[in-house]
């Protein structure tokens, strides 16, 4: 049983558990996050998200990021970011839906009601 556990740990690769008091914030990316986004994308063997970006940050470290424009997601494979990436993606969907609703409301043009009866 111990050898199976060791084998699974080797397959999982180097990971770190979430510190007991880790506080993760979901926020919009800032211009100062550009370098951290590039590093995060490199860790995920991908390219950085573009456009409006939501990030999940534990302290000063970005663990995951998603583009609101196209849904492209990157996450740190050396952090327990799987569930966090799911929540980040869900939040991005909520924000995109809200934005579409606002655009539809703004696009509606007020039109006066048709007159009742005819004019004589």
47: CB partners within 8 A, 6+ apart: 41, 72
CA distance 62 to 17: 15
CA distance 45 to 39: 10
Q: DSSP secondary-structure letter at 31? A: G
Q: What is the CATH number of the domain that holds 59?
A: 3.40.630.30
In a domain, 92, yes or no: yes
In a domain, 3, yes or no: no
**Residue of 106 and 25 predicted with greater confidence:** 25
In a domain, 109, yes or no: no
Count of domains observed in the chain: 1
In a domain, 70, yes or no: yes
Cα first-last separation, the chain? 94
What are the pLDDT digits (tens) for 38-95?
Answer: 999 999 999 999 999 999 998 889 999 999 999 999 999 998 888 888 999 999 999 9
Residue 43 confidence (pLDDT): 95
Structural domain harbouring 94: 21-102
What are the pLDDT digits (tens) for 10-46?
Answer: 555 544 445 555 688 999 999 999 999 999 999 999 9
46 contacts 74 by C-beta, under 8 angstroms: yes
């Amino acid at each position: 049983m111990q050898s199976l556990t060791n084998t699974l740990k080797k397959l999982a690769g180097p990971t770190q558990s979430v510190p007991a008091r880790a506080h993760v914030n979901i926020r919009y990316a800032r211009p100062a996050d550009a370098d951290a986004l590039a590093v995060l994308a490199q860790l995920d063997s991908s390219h950085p998200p573009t456009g409006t970006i939501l990030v999940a940050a534990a302290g000063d470290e970005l663990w995951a990021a998603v583009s609101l424009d196209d849904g492209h997601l990157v996450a740190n494979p050396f952090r327990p970011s799987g569930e966090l990436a799911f929540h980040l993606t869900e939040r991005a969907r909520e924000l995109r839906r809200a934005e579409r609703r606002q655009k539809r409301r703004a696009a509606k043009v007020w039109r006066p009601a048709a007159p009742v009866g005819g004019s004589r």
